Amino acid sequence: YSLFPTRPKWVSSVVTYRVVSYTPDLPRVRVNQLVAKALAMWSQEIPLSFRRVLVGTADIMIGFARGAHGDYYPFDGPGNTLAHAFAPGPGLGGDAHFDEDERWTDGSRRGVNFLITATHELGHSLGLGHSSDPKAVMYPTYRAGDPRNFKLAPDDIEGIQKLYGEKST
């Protein structure tokens, strides 16, 4: 695993998030469920919890966009770059963006699995960089898998606990 330079992390034990825009590929309620599921994967390993807000500015702003979308990292159409996210911090920090030109799926049809991609991007939102372990969720290239068996790899857990410590039982 790797961490960003200066190891940015959230200092509050409760981090807020908001889904500001949706994809027409999935029902809104499904996107909300999958984002919550992705965040839960991380929060069950560390002493951090997440609270969804419906209005205003959250720590982690999540959305779908195509092409240039105001952060100097334009998306590139179908394929290649699927999404990106920013390390913890103010403003754009922590925000996660998904390329609307991909065909997003929850596993019920062909396309890019949103749960797998969101878990990866939210790993960046929490302060993890890319891992060179091919089994890690934080490996940079996308590979489709069975979302029912999808979980963090030991390398992901070691990385996130390096930043935030272990969740007390």
Partner 1 sequence: LPLPREAGGTSEPQWKQAQDYLRRFYPSDPKTREADSFEARLKLMQRFFRLPVTGVLNPHTIEIMQKPRCGVPDVAE
Q: How far apart are CA 97 and CA 125, in angstroms?
A: 11
Whichever of 44 and 132 has its CB closer to partner 1, that residue is: 132
How far is the C-alpha of 38 from the C-alpha of 152, rounded, in Å?
A: 10
Read off the tokens for 36: 């919550």
CB 109, min distance to partner 1, A? 17
150 contacts partner 1 (rule: CB under 8 A): no
- Grouping H, G, I as helix, E, B as strand and the rest as coil, residue 149 is helix
One of 91, 140, 154, 165 touching partner 1 (CB under 8 A)? 140
Site string for partner 1, 4-43 (x = CB under 8 A): xx--------------------------------------
- Is 45 among the residues that bind partner 1 (CB under 8 A)? no
Among 37, 66, 69, 130, binds partner 1 (CB under 8 A): 130
Residue owning tokens 């103010």: 90
Residue 86, classified by CB atoms within 10 Å of its CB into exposed (0-12), middle (13-18) or buried (19+), is buried
Choose between 52 and 74: whose C-beta lies nearer to partner 1. 74
